[in-house]
Chain A
Amino acid sequence: MIDPAWVSGLSAILFIIGLIGVFTRKNAIIVLMCIELMLNAANMQFAAAAVHHGDATGWVYALFAIAIAASEVAIGLAIFLAVYGKHETITLDDINVLSN
């Protein structure tokens, strides 16, 4: 069995990749994916912690978080679609009607 610490470390790496990804990538879809990456990092951590503490709640948390991530993707894509409908792009830098 893998030491939960390794899993935690992996999740930290994933989280950082995700975080860096969200503010370096321009395409909204990729950004969404990076966000998912961050959520998944949390999921892994929950799972690892559940193992670590021998507490099943962590898995429940992870499951719920997956559900949240799923709905987030659904909403996100819906919004991006609407954005594309009006702006005809989903490049984040080009969508700046609102500023200042």
Chain B
Amino acid sequence: MSEVTYIQPFDDKFTTALLPELILVAGLFALIIIPNLGKATFRVPGTQIRLPYFLGGERYSLISNPRLPGWIAVTTLVLAFVEVMMTFESGLQRYMIVSELLPTTINGVTAGDVLVNGGSHILPSGSKELLLINGFSRLFEMIFFGAISLAAIASMNRLQSFDSSDRSTNALYNNRRQADFYILLLTAAMGMAIVALAQDLFVLFLGLELASFSSYVLVAFHKESKEGTEGGMKYFIVGSVASGIGLYGLSMLYLWAGTLQLGELSVAFDAAMAPQGSPALPLIALGFILVGFGFKVSAAPFHFAAPDAYAGASSPVAGILATASKAMGIVGLTRMLLIVASPESNDGSAIWLVALGILSVVTMTWGNIAALGSDNPKRMLAYSSVAHAGYMLAGLTAIGAWNWDPKLAGHGGDAAIMVMTAILFHLVVLVCFKLGAFLVLSILESEGEVSKMSSLRGLSKREPLLAVSMFIFMISLAGVPPMSGFMSKLLMIMGIVKVAIGNMGDALSNGDILSIGDAHWVWWLALIMVLNSAISMFYYLRVIVTMYFHEPEGDRQGPLPSGWQVRTAIFACVIASVFFGINADGLIELCEMAANSLNYSWASQ
């Protein structure tokens, strides 16, 4: 704990601490301003003196390129991403940004205040913890920025653009939309980053809404099509309802505890969860909040809008929904379930264990079964995304069970970290292959509709490299070694099994007779999970078979439209998918570090 440096907004270290976010803000400004720079002048009234004020007017030739917003956004996102990476690389410095921080020299310490930063600062009792920069939040930022920058790169040739000399309304209109799209991407990234950093549930909620609103618009961005608008609308309505429920949950929680600070809520929960019965209010609140985040991770039965949204949105956007947006939901769930209603707070296991366990089973099974017969590749990927949410929920469930065995004292934290590592690893590599798959569809989309599996036909003949990429993404999604998807699934199974088995090994070496019934029931989650991944094999293979077996259909012949940007992005995804499968060690260590920093109490136990 003491490694965390407490700062308040606009301290001197503030810029260092929030550099990636500030880069995003700068990028946002740049996106808004730069495309508007022009030879506009202002005539000083009454004179002929024209003072240039640069906004508006005839655009400079340098910035008249309609692709410019894209470049700005990509640069910004990549910079932010690189910055996040750099913070890992150069030894992560942890910061807690609080609303108020007083130097010790000014005031004496009063009751409730805490000495921080090696005793040089006081944290007054009314001060709120707002944002925490540590391994966990940085890792999520990495996921968000990585995913969104890949999507941004891939979108660069997706949006219609016209030469700047074309002065038609349509051309102007479309060129203008370029900036809008990337602004929304950046705000989404911004919102997600806030979610990752937030230490106050309401701050988290704000970030969530920022990201959600951006994504609603992004989904509906193609308003020329029925599907686009419809998907956006459904996503918006169901999302709003979910977040409304979530917000109501927050308000109840606030009503109960008088605070939405994670740390304080956690203490309150610990105190309230007594064996003889718990107060109703926090449990209702917990349920409501679970719904709010459940929608974000698209857990069944809150997932219904997701397939429609994925199908309606352009593929890179759908990719963001399936990866970054989902990761955001996981952050929320992690904060809520593991910090606030933490398993430590209850003897044996967390209060939400059964509910989440059932949710995870329903989610993964529903997703896989629905995907089985789906003939729309995007919907199929959406359902598969539901299934993957189920796997992660299973992992979270396992963490909830980690101190089920009294004999586990001293071991449980390891298991929890193992599972958390697995979830983080999964989220990272999910960006590689799930987004990658969407990007492949994106290339196909630039040719025409991709609402039928048959659109993929003969891809191996038309674009062998793309087909190989898609193949790798598919088997990675299915969890076939040596792809990273396998590694993540293996980690997840390992984590769950470790939790379930606990220290049965000790009992075994004492000669006790144990059977699988003596393990915690979350072991069966692992079994359901592997069986589900076997089911999922079926529809992933169908994609492969369609690509390699069938001849190209109808007018879909020959190579696809080029677009080196999106191909680069796909290539990066392929490399990462394979690399993290074959050489997972570094990433596992990174995720382990992040998992460790989620909850210091685990490590200390």
A residues whose Cβ falls under 8 Å from a Cβ of B: 4, 8, 11, 15, 18-19, 22, 28, 31-32, 35, 38-39, 41-43, 45-46, 48-49, 52-53, 55, 57-58, 61, 64-65, 68, 71-72, 75-76, 78-80, 82-83, 85-87, 92, 95-100
Known: A82-B220, A82-B223, A97-B226. A22 touches B232 (CB 8 A): no
Q: B229–A83 contact, CB under 8 A?
A: yes
Q: A58–B254 contact, CB under 8 A?
A: yes
Known: A38-B248, A75-B213, A75-B216. A57 touches B259 (CB 8 A): yes
Of the A-B pairs whose beta carbons lie under 8 Å apart in the complex, a sample of 9, sorted by A's number, is: A11-B248, A11-B251, A42-B244, A45-B251, A49-B254, A57-B128, A61-B254, A80-B233, A95-B230
Q: B229–A85 contact, CB under 8 A?
A: yes
Interface of B is mostly: helix
Q: B240–A86 contact, CB under 8 A?
A: no
Query: Which 3 pairs from chain A and chain B are nearest by CB?
Result: A53-B258, A45-B251, A38-B244
Closest to B250 in A: A42
Q: Is B339 an interface residue (CB 8 A)?
A: no
Q: Which residues of A contact B374 (CB under 8 A)?
A: 100
Q: Which residues of chain B from 175 to 234 have any CB-CB distance to chain A below 8 Å in the complex? A: 202, 206, 209, 213, 216-217, 220, 223-227, 229-234
Closest to A55 in B: B258
Tell me the complex Cα distance, A76–B22, Å: 29
Q: B251–A72 contact, CB under 8 A?
A: no
Tell me the complex Cα distance, A80–B232, Å: 9
Beyond A11-B248, A87-B226, 12 additional pairs, beta carbon < 8 A = A32-B237, A41-B248, A48-B255, A49-B255, A52-B258, A57-B128, A75-B213, A79-B233, A80-B233, A83-B232, A83-B233, A98-B312
Known: A28-B233, A61-B202, A98-B308. A19 touches B251 (CB 8 A): no
Q: B229–A86 contact, CB under 8 A?
A: yes
Q: Is B317 an interface residue (CB 8 A)?
A: no
Q: Which residues of B contact A82 (CB under 8 A)?
A: 220, 223, 229, 232
Tell me the complex Cα distance, A72–B247, Å: 13
Q: A75–B236 contact, CB under 8 A?
A: yes
Q: Which residues of A contact B361 (CB under 8 A)?
A: none
Q: A38–B254 contact, CB under 8 A?
A: no
Q: B232–A42 contact, CB under 8 A?
A: no
Q: A79–B232 contact, CB under 8 A?
A: yes
Q: Which residues of B contact A43 (CB under 8 A)?
A: 251
Q: Is B260 an interface residue (CB 8 A)?
A: yes
Q: Is B34 an interface residue (CB 8 A)?
A: no
Q: A39–B237 contact, CB under 8 A?
A: no
**How many Å from the CB of B159 to the closest CB on chain A?**
16
Q: Which residues of B contact A35 (CB under 8 A)?
A: 237, 240-241, 244
Contact with A along B128-169 (1 / 0, CB 8 A): 100000000000000000000000000000000000000000
**How many Å from the CB of A99 to the closest CB on chain B?**
7
Q: A86–B225 contact, CB under 8 A?
A: yes
Known: A53-B258, A86-B223. A15 touches B213 (CB 8 A): no
Q: Which residues of B contact A41 (CB under 8 A)?
A: 248, 251
Q: B237–A92 contact, CB under 8 A?
A: yes
Known: A79-B220, A82-B223. A28 touches B311 (CB 8 A): no
**How many Å from the CB of B315 to the closest CB on chain A?**
15
Q: Which residues of A contact B307 (CB under 8 A)?
A: 98
Q: Which residues of B contact A78 (CB under 8 A)?
A: 217
Known: A35-B240, A35-B244, A79-B216. A68 touches B226 (CB 8 A): no
Q: Is B245 an interface residue (CB 8 A)?
A: yes
Tell me the complex Cα distance, A95–B225, Å: 13
Closest to B225 in A: A86
Q: Which residues of chain B from 483 to 521 have any CB-CB distance to chain A below 8 Å in the complex? A: none
**How many Å from the CB of B452 to the closest CB on chain A?**
13
Q: Is B303 an interface residue (CB 8 A)?
A: no
Tell me the complex Cα distance, A58–B240, Å: 21
Closest to B244 in A: A38
Q: Is B296 an interface residue (CB 8 A)?
A: no
Q: A87–B229 contact, CB under 8 A?
A: yes
Q: Is B434 an interface residue (CB 8 A)?
A: no
Q: Which residues of chain B from 415 to 462 have any CB-CB distance to chain A below 8 Å in the complex? A: none
Q: B308–A79 contact, CB under 8 A?
A: no
Q: Which residues of A contact B233 (CB under 8 A)?
A: 28, 79-80, 83, 95
**How many Å from the CB of A29 to the closest CB on chain B?**
11
Tell me the complex Cα distance, A59–B207, Å: 18
Known: A42-B244, A83-B230. A49 touches B216 (CB 8 A): no
Q: Is B123 an interface residue (CB 8 A)?
A: no
**How many Å from the CB of A6 to the closest CB on chain B?**
13
Q: A97–B227 contact, CB under 8 A?
A: yes
Tell me the complex Cα distance, A80–B217, Å: 11
Tell me the complex Cα distance, A97–B230, Å: 8
Tell me the complex Cα distance, A44–B244, Å: 13
Known: A38-B244, A87-B226. A68 touches B206 (CB 8 A): yes
Tell me the complex Cα distance, A32–B374, Å: 31
Q: A45–B254 contact, CB under 8 A?
A: yes
Q: Is B94 an interface residue (CB 8 A)?
A: no
Q: Which residues of A contact B128 (CB under 8 A)?
A: 57
Q: B223–A49 contact, CB under 8 A?
A: no
Give the most central of A41, A48, A79: most B CB within 10 Å: A79
Tell me the complex Cα distance, A92–B230, Å: 10
Q: Is B252 an interface residue (CB 8 A)?
A: yes
Q: A86–B244 contact, CB under 8 A?
A: no
Closest to B231 in A: A98
Q: B216–A46 contact, CB under 8 A?
A: no
Closest to B310 in A: A98
Known: A75-B236, A82-B223. A38 touches B245 (CB 8 A): yes
